[in-house]
Amino acid sequence: MSEIKDLKPKALWKHFYSLTQIPRPSKKEEKVVDFVEKFGKDLGLETIRDEVGNVIIKKPATPGNENKKTIVMQGHLDMVPQKNSDKDFDFEKDPIETKIEGDVVKANGTTLGADNGMGVAAAMAVLEAKDLEHGPIEALFTVDEETGMTGANELKPGLLDAEILINMDSEDEGELYIGCAGGLETNAFFHYKEESLPADVSAFDIEVKGLKGGHSGLDIHLGRGNANKVLNRILWYAIQNLDVRLAHIEAGSLRNAIPREANATVVVPNSQVGEFKNYVKEVTDAVKNELSRVEPNISIDAKDADMPSSLIDKETQDNLVRAIYGCPHGVMRMSDSMEGLVETSTNLAVIKMEDKKIRIQTLQRSSVDTAKEDLGNMHRAVFELAGAEVVHEGAYPGWKPNPESPILATMKEVYNNKFGKVPKIMAIHAGLECGIISQAYPELDMISFGPTINYPHSPDEEVNIETVQKFWDFLVETLKNIPEK
């Protein structure tokens, strides 16, 4: 695992390795917050830890650069905790097991944490460096970006002195991002009653796994399968045509990850077991055919199970399955202003049972706030028609592109001079913290960039080694060329 410390640039990879050794799933970042705070203090730099756990470290300009504009390098400390079902791993205790495969670094059966460990490691390397030329620098390390943007939302005015924000949470080298989508979480709750099991039934566990999943913003346009939708399709056919009853359902895991795995326990009259298995096979064959190119490893099984102690009442069961079938998922509209950019999408993310409630968690994204709200209301209408209680929460704004941004002009010129080509200017269909931070610091001139990270939010996450060097070189050269006040 420590082999990655020998990769170049060593200054960055050293810190990324350290981050892989510290458990830091969203909402469980105490250890990494302590680590980064100590890092700043050990360097003798002004270090601030705010009420929610954000850490700000300030480094003075190198001699002769005192009149340059102050920049803040920004990244988030948390990572998405996703693993393969056969991987024994505790994200709150275990270090990430990294490995080098050809030209990429990956993890062993889990997410890697390059999102956003690469950005955090780069900022740490700059703070520690004694041989870089730069103006006044601040580093802002936020918490809980992946599950609620809590750190950005709770950032108070007056803590930062910067005039420019460089977010390092983008995931395609050679691209500069100047805008992002906003988000809205829509949760539906079904309250159910427990019912006794009928006689002469058999229990089965239906399991959907092997899908690629991925980031619900960056990968939503790829047409990958949604394990929640696949599972519900089987349930719908079985419940519509047979006397199948639902006892338990657990599907998806995170609001911003396309669901990779889903499970349900059902009971089937013994006289209908053959027909039930036929329906499972029919849906399995259809789904595998439909998704053969994008999901070659999908697996759907109905296995004998232990008999459950109770069932979800039939009315709630039927309403639940119908509502999930009707719930939209995927791309709703492409952008009219930027070719190839998703404007509006939704992710049917999580189905979870707890305390006699079934929660369906969805996440809407759009670069148009009214479209985001409209899509949230579409979900509300579907679930309220089915008798569910619906709550909108976790809304955050998009980041409106500014093609006239001074830092954009500077970084375009620096990239062209360094690498002989002009970088692509992009907006991203994902939630960056820039839009939220701008609410507390509206005068900040902002931009986002990073190395190439493939398949974030899934156990296939990987970072391209060559692009990490280019990312670092670009950052170092940008710091040299920050304009004066």
Pair 475, 164: CB distance under 8 Å: no
Q: How many CB atoms lie under 10 A from the CB of residue 2?
A: 10
Pair 345, 365: CB distance under 8 Å: yes
Query: 289 burial class (0-12, 13-18, 19+ CB within 10 angstroms)?
Result: exposed
Q: How many CA atoms lie within 13 A of 187 on its CB side?
A: 14
78 is an active site residue = yes
Q: What CA–CA distance (Å, rounded) separates 401 from 427?
A: 7
Q: What CA–CA distance (Å, rounded) separates 242 from 276?
A: 7
Q: What CA–CA distance (Å, rounded) separates 359 from 357?
A: 6
195 is an active site residue = no
Q: How many CB atoms lie under 10 A from the CB of residue 92?
A: 10
Q: What CA–CA distance (Å, rounded) separates 393 from 409?
A: 36
> What tokens appear for 273 in the block?
């077991």
Pair 212, 229: CB distance under 8 Å: no
The contacts of residue 369 (CB under 8 Å, 6+ apart) are: 182, 397, 398
DSSP 256-282: TB----EEEEEEEEGGGHHHHHHHHHH
Among 78, 163, 172, 261, which one carries the catalytic annotation?
Answer: 78
DSSP 423: P
Among 145, 154, 343, 461, which one carries the catalytic annotation?
Answer: 145
The contacts of residue 298 (CB under 8 Å, 6+ apart) are: 208, 209, 210, 211, 225, 230, 287, 288, 291
Which residues are catalytic, by number?
78, 145
